[in-house]
A and B are shown apart, each in its own frame.
Chain A
C-alpha cells in the first residue's frame, strides 16, 4: 500500500529526471555550456535543468518544511540554527552604524528573524536591515506568511526578494555586511558561483556564515546516520506525501563537498577563512563555515 503510494507520488519527478540524459553526458570540455551536467541528488542532469528541478522540490516541501526538518533531524536543526546565530553574534554594537544583512535561500525566515532577534537582544540593535532572498517564490511566500506572526510584520527593515543566489542581480556590489545561507548552498547548481557572488555583494570586512550539512567524522555515528538517512524519504512520504523530494534532499547531502574541500572553495572565492576554518556540529552532520572579505 505504502509502496504504491510512494510510486505514485514519485512518478512526476522521476519523469523529469528520466527525460534528462544521464550517463551519456559528462562535463567534457568540448560540450557547450547548456549541455554541461551536474548532479541532482544521485542523478546526473543538465546544469540548465537543475534549477528547475530544485525549484520543484522546494515548492513541493514548502508548506511542511519545518515539521519535516524536525522529524528528519529529531529537532536538532533548531539547536544548530540557534548555535549558528549565536556564533555569528552579529549586530551593530552601541555606537556603531547599522548593518545590512542578507539571508540567501532563507525562504522560511528562521535565520533572518533569529539574527534580528539576537541583534536586538544582545546589542539593542533595531536599525540593521535584513534582505531575505530565495530562488523559490513558494518558499519565500512561506517566509512572508511567517513574518505576519512575528514582531517584524510592520517593520520595513525586512524585505523579501526572489533571487538566484548564484547571481543576486538586484543586490549591488559591496552593499552587505553579513551574508548567511543556511541549509541552502548545496542546492546551488554552481556552488562556486554562489560563493563568488557572496564575495561580490559583501562590503570589505563583511562576513559570510554558512550552515550546511556535512560529512560525519566518526565511523560509528556515520553508520547510524547513513542508515537513518535511508528512512527519511519514507518519512517524507508519510508526512508530506512526497518521497522523491526527500530522496533528493538526502542525496544532495551526500553529494555536498566535505568540510576541508568546502573551506577551500570559500577561500577560492577570495574570502579569508579563520582557522580552523569550520566548526562541526553533532559529529559533522552539519558544519558552520565562516569567511571574511578583506
Chain B
C-alpha cells in the first residue's frame, strides 16, 4: 500500500536524476569505483586532511594522476562532487561489514543498526577537522535535495541490512528517525573532542535505545488506536441493530 517513490541518482547530476520505483535497497545501483572520476575523487579524499573539502583537493589529485586542468570539466559541481563521492562511497562500503562474523553474530535488528551506524560514523574520523565544512555544503540550497536523498539512502541501507521487514507506516517512521539521528550524531561528532570519538559512540547507544522505545511506543499506540476504532464501530453497530 505504501509504495515508496525514491529518487536514486545514477551518478550525481544536479540537473538530471533517474526516478526508479523501489521497495528495498537491492535496487540501489552499484557504485562504480573504477571510473576516471572516482579514481580522481578517491585520491582527492586522501588529500582532504591537507586541503579540506575544497576543490583544491580534486585539482591536486587530478594533477598527481597526470591529468591536465582540462579534466576539471568532469567536476562541474566543484567541491560538492567530492563531498557526494565521500557520502556515496562510505554508504557503499557498509556492505563490506554485513558479511563479517561480527555483524552476523548480532541477534537483534537494533544491535545491527547500532553496529552499522558506528561504522559509518567512524568513517568520518579521518576528516574530523573538516566535518563542519562538509556539513555546511550539504545544507546549501543547490545541493540540499541531493544531500537529503543520500541521507535517506543511508538510513534505508542501514535498516535494510539490519533486517528491517516493516511494510507499514513504520517503514517511514524508522527511516525518518534514523536519518534525524544520523544528522544529530554527525553534528555531535564534529564538536566531539573526546579521543577517537568515544563520546559520539556512546551517544549512538543512547539514541538508538531511544528509537527502539519509540518503536515500541508506536506499536502500542497503533494497537490502542485499532482497538478503540474497532470498539467504536462495534458499539455503533450494536446501537444501530437495536433500532
**Residues of chain A at the chain B interface (Cβ within 8 Å):** 86-93, 96-97, 99, 177-178, 203, 205-207, 209, 272, 274-276, 279-280, 290, 292, 294
**Also in contact, A290 and B73, with CB within 8 A (given A275-B10, A276-B11):** yes
Interface contact B73-A279, CB-CB below 8 Å:
no
- The CA of A106 and the CA of B63, in the complex, are separated in Å by 29
Interface contact B35-A274, CB-CB below 8 Å:
yes
Q: How many A-B residue pairs have CB under 8 A?
A: 74
**Also in contact, A207 and B13, with CB within 8 A (given A93-B59, A274-B37, A294-B36):** no
Who on chain A is nearest to B15 by CB?
Answer: A279
Who on chain A is nearest to B18 by CB?
Answer: A276
Who on chain A is nearest to B63 by CB?
Answer: A96
Count of B residues near A, CB < 8 Å? 24
Q: Which residues of A contact B18 (CB under 8 A)?
A: 276
**Also in contact, A203 and B68, with CB within 8 A (given A276-B11, A276-B13):** yes
Interface contact B13-A93, CB-CB below 8 Å:
no
- The CA of A114 and the CA of B75, in the complex, are separated in Å by 19
B217 within 8 A of A: no
Partner of A292, one of B10, B66, B69, B71: B71
- The CA of A242 and the CA of B68, in the complex, are separated in Å by 44
Partner of A274, one of B11, B68, B78: B11
Interface contact A279-B37, CB-CB below 8 Å:
no
- The CA of A90 and the CA of B59, in the complex, are separated in Å by 12
Chain B's nearest CB lies how many Å from the CB of A177?
Answer: 4
- The CA of A209 and the CA of B36, in the complex, are separated in Å by 17
Name 10 extra pairs, CB < 8 A, besides A99-B70, A274-B11, A294-B36.
Answer: A89-B73, A99-B69, A177-B68, A177-B69, A177-B70, A205-B70, A206-B70, A209-B73, A274-B74, A275-B13
**Also in contact, A292 and B74, with CB within 8 A (given A97-B68, A205-B67, A274-B37):** yes
Interface of A, secondary structure class, is: mixed
Interface contact A279-B11, CB-CB below 8 Å:
no
Q: Which residues of B contact A203 (CB under 8 A)?
A: 68
- The CA of A88 and the CA of B74, in the complex, are separated in Å by 8
Interface string of B178-220 (1 = CB under 8 A from A): 0000000000000000000000000000000000000000000
**Also in contact, A279 and B13, with CB within 8 A (given A177-B70, A205-B66):** yes
Interface contact B69-A275, CB-CB below 8 Å:
no
Partner of A93, one of B10, B11, B72: B72
Q: Which residues of B contact A206 (CB under 8 A)?
A: 68, 70
In B1-57, the 8 Å CB interface with A consists of 10-11, 13, 15-16, 18, 32, 35-37
Chain B's nearest CB lies how many Å from the CB of A118?
Answer: 11
- The CA of A209 and the CA of B69, in the complex, are separated in Å by 15
Q: Which residues of A contact B32 (CB under 8 A)?
A: 275
Q: Which residues of A contact B37 (CB under 8 A)?
A: 274
Who on chain B is nearest to A93 by CB?
Answer: B69
Partner of A92, one of B10, B11, B69, B78: B69
Interface contact A96-B69, CB-CB below 8 Å:
yes
Q: Which residues of A contact B59 (CB under 8 A)?
A: 93, 96
Q: Which residues of B contact A93 (CB under 8 A)?
A: 59, 69, 72
Q: Which residues of B contact A280 (CB under 8 A)?
A: 15-16
B76 within 8 A of A: yes
19 contacts between A and B (CB under 8 A): A87-B73, A88-B73, A89-B78, A93-B59, A96-B68, A97-B69, A177-B68, A178-B73, A205-B71, A206-B70, A272-B36, A274-B74, A276-B16, A279-B13, A280-B16, A292-B36, A292-B71, A292-B74, A294-B36
Who on chain B is nearest to A272 by CB?
Answer: B36
**Also in contact, A90 and B13, with CB within 8 A (given A272-B36, A294-B36):** no
